[in-house]
Amino acid sequence: MGRTRNSPWDSQRVRLCKELRALRLSAGLHQEELAMKLGAHQSFVSRYERGERRLDLFEVHAICTACGSSMSALLKRLELE
């Protein structure tokens, strides 16, 4: 089996995943509810929240929108940490 390479962005990705989870929780959504809004399966939400799946820009935007927020608000939260 191949080794997983560490990326210089791993710590930022972990922070992003934590913030997206916090965003979902602050919106009062369970993983299943968010997944339904995204037209995805609950495992999609679970995997990215655990950092097992990378997200593209469009997915992050859709998650923010589904949680009633914006990407700019998310970026501000990330900058404050």
Would you kindly state where each structural domain of the chain is located, as residue ranges? Answer: 15-80
CA distances from 6 to 19, 42, 80 (A): 21, 27, 25
* 55 closest CA partner among 42, 40, 44: 44
Q: Given pLDDT bands bounded at 50, 70 and 90, which one contains residue 81?
A: low
User: Average of pLDDT values for 71-77?
Assistant: 95
Q: How far apart are the first and last CA of the chain?
A: 36
The per-residue pLDDT for 57 is 96
Q: Is 58 helix (H, G, I), strand (E, B) or coil?
A: helix
Q: What's the token pair of residue 44?
A: 């999609």
CB 63 within 8 A of CB 69: no
Q: Read off the pLDDT of residues 23-67 as tens digits, 9 standing for 90 and up.
A: 999 999 999 999 999 999 999 999 999 999 999 999 999 999 999
Q: Is the pLDDT of residue 3 over 70?
A: no
> Which CATH entry fits the domain spanning 15-80: 3.40.50.300, 1.10.260.40, 3.40.50.1370, 3.40.50.150?
1.10.260.40
Q: Is 29 helix (H, G, I), strand (E, B) or coil?
A: coil
Q: Read off the pLDDT of residues 8-28 as tens digits, 9 standing for 90 and up.
A: 778 888 999 999 999 999 999
